[in-house]
């Protein structure tokens, strides 16, 4: 994503950034910044808020009713929009493949990850793309990086990722090998009307504490366009990551599927904290320390060389095996990923708990209540132009009630010792 130098601190500024053709709804003021409102109707603003100490960096807005990013970005982000439009504008049909190919063209996890038998409910039909979980044995690691990324990132910094939180322990768990695909999500969507109440009948269980449910904020995900992948039926993008879902819809799917969203600590442990398939612990990116800026060898992000397929902004899951972390694909790029925790800054003093100084914590989960305005997102996405956003320690935040064009998710579940 293009980091803007100026924070949007008013609803008026937000309306201007989203173009004057949009109307703003003064009743909706629950964005990542309390002063930001989402436009009404289907034109929902997608605001990635990456807080670096006391500086809020606000990324591009998404307007679902207009697929051209250049119409949805603030003026000082137009250079990024021009680059993205140059990449994606064209005849989508010329790159389309048959639905059968999208369903069956899958990449198996590479060596180093123990793939759990397909016990996920969404994977009862084995032909579905994106199935498979990887066993993570757990361990102790240091969460975060010593330096923050500011206007000019250095070689190892992370966004909102310092000070380092020492000696974090995560117990054994399993995580999806791939971001949840449209095909897998539709397995839940087809039965949601009859099963959502059962899914929501108990709190979401975590080792670090339970998360109660909030009312469902949106009737459904955003439907397919160039920015979004979902249709409630088989489509050419069945093998692409599910996006345009809010935090609570992502949790619904994961609980129905037999798990829950991963915690922030679990996600980072997979991406960098633990040694994986010959990769050293403490690496900068999920694949190691190699900078991805030379092209798209490791991840789908905003680079002119990245593959475009099926008329989408994203790629089918698993397209970048060189960017995998021990059989876990697309931890960097394609779409940002919801994780379970509230977004708070790391601390090195004050209360030692999962929302402040997390040092020495075991299975930490930051949750203070449903009133919290943001949840953590991880990994970077197709719209990111700054490689530091793809670093395994970097963090973003997003309102849990909103749906982002480049935010998806994967699921995790506890495993016995």
Enumerate the domain spans of the chain.
Answer: 11-88, 96-417
Residue 365, number of CB atoms within 10 A of its CB: 22
Burial of 330-354, coded b for 16+ CB within 10 Å and e otherwise, reads bbbbbbbbbbbbbbbebbeeeeeeb
Digitized pLDDT (tens) for each residue of the chain, 417 residues in all:
333 323 323 333 322 233 222 222 222 323 322 222 233 333 333 323 332 222 222 233 232 332 322 222 222 232 222 222 222 222 222 233 333 333 333 333 333 344 554 479 999 877 799 999 999 999 999 999 999 998 677 889 999 999 999 999 999 999 999 999 999 999 999 999 999 999 999 999 999 999 999 999 999 999 999 899 999 999 999 999 999 999 999 999 999 999 999 999 999 999 999 998 899 999 999 999 999 988 899 999 987 778 889 999 999 999 999 999 999 999 999 999 999 999 999 998 878 889 999 999 999 999 999 988 899 999 999 999 999 999 999 999 999 999 999 999 999 999 999
Q: Which structure tokens are listed for 229?
A: 């992948």
Cβ-contact 311, 324 below 8 angstroms: no
Distance in angstroms (rounded) separating the CA atoms of residues 405 and 362: 33
CA 14 to each of CA 11, 32, 57, 59: distance values in angstroms, whole numbers, following the listed order: 5, 12, 14, 11
Contact assessment for residue 230 and residue 312, using Cβ atoms and an 8 Å cutoff: no
* CATH numeric code, 96-417: 3.90.1580.10
| DSSP β-bridge partners for residue 56 | 51
Give how far the C-alpha of residue 238 lies from the chain's centroid of Cα atoms, to the nearest Å.
Answer: 18
Distance separating alpha carbons of residues 45 and 28, to the nearest angstrom: 11
What is the number of other CB atoms lying within 10 angstroms of the CB of residue 94? Answer: 7
* 231 contact partners, CB below 8 Å, separation of at least 6: 182, 223, 224, 237
Q: What count of residues does the chain have?
A: 417
Q: Is 160 exposed, middle or buried, given 0-12, 13-18 or 19+ CB atoms closer than 10 A?
A: buried
Residue 45: name the closest of 409, 408, 399 by CA: 399
CA dihedral for 266, 268, 270, 273, sign (positive or negative): negative
Phi, psi of 249 (to 5 degrees): -70, -40
CB 47 within 8 A of CB 3: no
What was the pLDDT predicted at 304? Answer: 73
DSSP result, 234-279: --TTTTSBP-S--HHHHHHHHHHHT-BPPPHHHHHIIIIIS-BTTB
Structure tokens that stand for 1 in this block: 């994503």
Closest listed residue to residue 170, CA positions, set 138, 205, 135: 138
Give the separation between CA 382 and CA 65, rounded to whole angstroms: 19
What pLDDT is stored for residue 247 in this prediction? 98
């Amino acid at each position: 994503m293009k980091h803007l130098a100026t924070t949007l601190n008013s609803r008026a500024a937000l309306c201007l950034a989203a173009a004057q053709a949009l109307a703003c709804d003064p009743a909706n003021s629950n964005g990542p910044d309390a002063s930001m409102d989402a436009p009404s109707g289907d034109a929902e603003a997608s605001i990635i808020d990456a807080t670096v100490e006391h500086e809020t960096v606000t990324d591009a807005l998404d307007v679902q009713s207009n697929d051209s990013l250049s119409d949805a970005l603030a003026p000082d982000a137009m250079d990024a929009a021009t680059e993205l439009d140059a990449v994606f504008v064209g005849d989508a049909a010329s790159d389309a493949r048959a639905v059968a190919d999208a369903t069956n063209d899958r990449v198996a996890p590479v060596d180093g990850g123990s793939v759990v038998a397909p016990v996920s409910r969404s994977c009862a039909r084995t032909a579905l793309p994106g199935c498979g979980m990887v066993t993570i044995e757990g361990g102790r690691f240091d969460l975060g990086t010593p330096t923050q990324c500011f206007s000019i990132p250095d070689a190892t910094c992370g966004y909102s990722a310092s000070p380092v939180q020492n000696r974090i322990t995560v117990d054994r768990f399993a995580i999806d090998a791939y971001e949840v695909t449209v095909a897998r999500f539709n397995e839940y969507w087809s039965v949601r009307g009859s099963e959502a109440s059962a899914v929501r009948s108990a709190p979401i269980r975590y080792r670090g504490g339970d998360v109660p449910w909030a009312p469902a904020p949106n009737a459904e995900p955003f439907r397919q366009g160039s920015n979004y992948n979902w249709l409630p039926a088989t489509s050419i993008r069945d093998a692409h990551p599910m996006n345009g879902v809010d935090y609570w819809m992502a949790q619904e799917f994961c609980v129905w599927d037999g798990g829950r969203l991963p915690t922030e600590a679990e996600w980072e442990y997979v991406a960098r904290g633990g040694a994986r398939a010959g990769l050293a612990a403490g690496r900068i990116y999920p694949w190691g320390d190699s900078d991805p800026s030379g092209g798209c060898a490791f991840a789908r992000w905003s680079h002119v060389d990245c593959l475009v397929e099926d008329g989408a902004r994203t790629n089918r899951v698993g397209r970048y095996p060189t960017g995998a972390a021990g059989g876990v694909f697309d931890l960097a790029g394609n779409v940002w990923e919801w994780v379970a925790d509230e977004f708070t800054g790391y601390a090195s003093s004050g209360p030692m708990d999962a929302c402040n100084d997390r040092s020495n914590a075991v299975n930490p989960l930051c949750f203070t209540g449903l009133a919290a305005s943001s949840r953590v997102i991880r990994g970077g996405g197709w719209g990111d132009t700054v490689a530091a956003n793809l670093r395994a320690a970097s963090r973003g935040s997003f309102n849990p009630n909103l749906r982002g064009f480049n935010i998806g998710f994967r699921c995790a579940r506890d495993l016995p010792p």
